[in-house]
Amino acid sequence: MTTYATSLSRLCGLGTCAAALTTLLACAPALADDAAPAAAPAGPWTITKHIDLASRYVLRGVTTTYGNGQPLGNPGADAPESDQAALQWGIDFVHSSGWSFGYWASTINYSYKQLGNSYGDRSITEFQKPRSVENDFYFAYAGNISGDLGYILGMTGYYYANGSHANALETKAGLTWGALSFNAQTLLNDVVWGNKGDTYWTLVYTKPLPYDITFTGTLGAYTYSREGKYLGTRDTATGASCGAGQAFVVNGCFAGNGPSSGGLRHLTLGLSAPFPDSSITWSLQAILGGYNRFDVKQGNQLVGMLSWGF
């Protein structure tokens, strides 16, 4: 964690400040005999950085398949985002006024470029290379309504390196009350992983436990726009409607469930704690699977992670 105070460049030139700092350090031993130096005042910005290694990357509780029938796995550009260890990293800037912005990224074990291109080129059957990297850029403002009741408003931009028809914008609006938060995140454009208007709802409860352990419970649900460019009941590339017992999933009409208007996505129960005298944190999540946008049941999954904060 890093904090920033008022920039010295506003007060003096670089050379002058360096000389002043050298003089101050030279005087420090003499001053220490008289009194302990006062702590520097905290600046308005708090900066946190992290690098993580997750046992797998599960996106919003979808452990088994994004589609309407049999799972295809990562070779078929299907869930989870990575069925093997995923490297993740990020940085967050939080201002004392309530504004915040940040960046988060993760490796993905298939190619969003190939998946997106398969919408127009149905001959594509290889989805492993080039593998994609998800990049999330976000900002928010958190304010207080009354007492423990607060709110948050923000937006996230998704950019996929090695991606096609995958980049998106998503709004966020939420309420906080003590250890509880309730959020709604709404997609603003059609992409291969969602339809414009899809809204992800979460209820999150956080509680500190003994031994520096933190418990986090997340109940996630979705309301879906049933028809979009890449997901629905009509092949928008050819103009053909899917038959009975079929749904359109990016690159064709497939037998299985039809689109759902919404449902429970997942219940995730998590524990995390820092290792003693270390900047490394461990976390463990038990994902109890719900249903995807085609009402296909998702399996349960245990996910572990090691995070290095600096």
d(CA 132, CA 107): 6
* 125 and 261 belong to one structural domain: yes
pLDDT at residue 30, rounded to an integer: 38
* 230 and 101 belong to one structural domain: yes
Q: How many domains does the chain have?
A: 2
Please choose, from the candidates 141, 184, 137, the residue with its C-alpha nearest in 3D space to the C-alpha of residue 156. 137
* 37 and 185 belong to one structural domain: no
* 18 and 90 belong to one structural domain: no
* 31 and 152 belong to one structural domain: no
Per-residue DSSP letters for the chain? -EEE-S-GGGTS-HHHHHHHHHHHHHHHHHHHHH-PPPPPPP-SEEEEEEEEEES-B-BTTB-S-SSSSS--TGGGT-SSSBSS-EEEEEEEEEETTSEEEEEEEEE-SS-HHHHHHTTT-TT----SSSPPEEEEEEEEEEEEEETTEEEEEEEEEEEEETBSS--EEEEEEEEEETTEEEEEEEE-S-BTTB-TT-EEEEEEEEEEETTTEEEEEEEEEEE--S--SSEESEETTTTEEP-TTEEEESSSEEESPPPPSEEEEEEEEEEEEEPTTSSEEEEEEEEEE-B-TT-PBPPPEEEEEEEEE-
* 269 and 284 belong to one structural domain: yes
d(CA 307, CA 89): 9
Length of the chain: 310
- Per-residue pLDDT 10s for the chain (310 aa) are 443 333 333 334 444 333 333 343 333 333 344 444 565 567 899 999 999 999 999 999 999 999 999 999 999 999 999 999 999 999 999 999 999 999 999 999 999 999 999 999 999 999 999 999 999 999 999 999 999 999 999 999 999 999 999 999 999 999 999 999 999 999 999 999 999 999 999 999 999 999 999 999 999 999 999 999 999 999 999 999 999 999 999 999 999 999 999 999 999 999 999 999 999 999 999 999 999 999 999 999 999 999 999 9
* 133 and 105 belong to one structural domain: yes
* 196 and 305 belong to one structural domain: yes
pLDDT at residue 41, rounded to an integer: 67
Write the CATH number for 233.
2.40.160.40
Reading the block at residue 150, the tokens are: 């607060």
* 168 and 28 belong to one structural domain: no
* 229 and 252 belong to one structural domain: yes
* 214 and 76 belong to one structural domain: yes
Q: Which domain holds residue 53?
A: 44-309
* 72 and 185 belong to one structural domain: yes
